[in-house]
């Protein structure tokens, strides 16, 4: 195995994973999270801001500490149960394409696009 190339997730495994994934999880994986402010407060003791933003689609949270000037000091995710698929490995390249294709296919099923008319 090539040591330089990180081992990515198996394409077929990701396809199967994508098919059983909820649409919200699928969209977040494909289009990224849709963040909205959730909570924020000034931490007098540490002299910085504590802020949580939450994805309106899958409810994953991003928990941050911000300096008084707005610089990000720390940041971590708190994933909704069932979101992570650590057993699959890193979803990159063709495996990532298969997620995108599954998402696209569901869009087609839901709203059949009207084909451009040729008159
Ligand atoms: Zn999300």
CA of 80 to the centre of ligand 1 (A): 9
11-105 is classed CATH 3.30.70: no
Question: Which of the four pLDDT bands, split at 50, 70 and 90, describes residue 87?
Answer: confident
Beta bridge partners of 66: 49, 72
Task: Name the pTM for this structure.
Answer: 0.77
Residue 61 Cα to ligand 1 midpoint, Å, equals: 8
30-50: pLDDT as tens digits: 999 999 999 999 999 999 999
The alpha carbon of 57 and the centre of ligand 1 are apart by a number of angstroms equal to 5
Q: Is the CA virtual torsion 56, 111, 100, 26 positive or negative? A: positive
Distance 51 CA to ligand 1 centre (A): 17
């Amino acid at each position: 195995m090539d040591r330089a190339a990180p081992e990515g997730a198996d394409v077929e495994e990701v396809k199967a994973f994508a098919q059983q994934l909820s649409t919200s999880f699928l969209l977040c994986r494909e289009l990224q999270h849709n963040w909205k402010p959730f909570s924020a407060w000034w931490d007098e003791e540490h002299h910085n801001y504590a802020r949580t933003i939450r994805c309106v689609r899958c409810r994953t949270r991003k928990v941050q500490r911000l300096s008084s000037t707005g610089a990000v000091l720390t940041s971590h995710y708190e994933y909704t149960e069932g979101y992570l698929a650590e057993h699959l490995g890193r979803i990159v390249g063709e495996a990532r394409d298969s997620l995108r294709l599954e998402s696209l296919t569901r869009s087609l099923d839901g709203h059949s696009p009207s084909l451009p008319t040729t008159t």
